[in-house]
A = this chain, B = another copy of it.
Amino acid sequence: MPKVLSPALSKYSRDALSLLGALIREARLTSTLTTTEVSTRAGISRGLLQRIERGDPGCGIGAVFEVAAIVGVPLFEMDERLLPARLARQTEKMALLPKSVRAPRTAVNDDF
Contacts and interface: CB of A to CB of B under 8 A. Distances in A.
Given A7-B43, A57-B60, A80 B12 contact: yes
Contacts of A104: 32
Chain A interface size range? 35 or more
Interface string A23-36: 10110111011100
Contact of A101 (B7, B22, B32, B61): B32
Q: What is the predominant secondary structure among interface residues of chain A facing chain B?
A: helix
A84 interface: yes
A6 B43 contact: yes
A65 B24 CA distance: 17
B33 A101 contact: yes
